[in-house]
Structure 1
Amino acid sequence: MKKDEAERAIRILCHDWRRETGQSEVPALDLHFNAFWAWMKDRHFQYTDFRATAGAAYMAEIWFDQEFGLTWTR
């Protein structure tokens, strides 16, 4: 899997995860990346395995934070 392919998919899947897990009304600050990553590994494993200097999970967490406006918490 190429990093840019994974990024496109993960950004979309962030919102799919939120809907599928019934968290649409949950404030973004209360969303947890670890729960999202576990969901990804369970359902969309192919997007969790790509090369990144900092590691796939770290990059995915950055994208997750960007999608939900949480980069200020870093």
Structure 2
Amino acid sequence: MRGKPGTVKRPEAERAIRQLTHEWATAHGVGPGSVEMPSFSAFHRWVLGRGGAAYFQFRSTLGPLEDAESWFDQELRQAWRN
């Protein structure tokens, strides 16, 4: 059974968000464990601008944006913020 067109499954979204986090960080000069807090909202806008809205449309108990922000923080070693 397939989901709605334009949506992805959670594991696929997680892989993409984690990879895109590193692409965004490189493009914006943000390193893992950076003292300054990376902006998830800036990352989210960047992904949307690249046509990645589907990566934020998956089934989730907490909500797709909350999961995506958690993965973003983990990849940038900012999980202590959560």
- Structure 2: runs of 5+ lacking an equivalent: 1-7
Using the TM superposition, give the Cα deviation of residue 28 of structure 1 relative to its aligned residue in structure 2, in angstroms.
5.5
**How many correspondences in the alignment?**
73
Structure possessing the higher radius of gyration over alpha carbons: 2
Contact 1:29/1:70 (8 A) holds in 2: no
TM-score, normalised on structure 2? 0.77
1:62 paired residue number:
70
- Structure 1: runs of 5+ lacking an equivalent: none
| Bigger helix fraction | 1
Deviations along 1:28-62, one digit per CA (max 9) or x if unpaired, are 53311110011112211221211111111000000
The list of structure 1 runs, each at least 4 consecutive aligned residues, that deviate by more than 3 angstroms after superposition, is none
TM-score, normalised on structure 1? 0.84
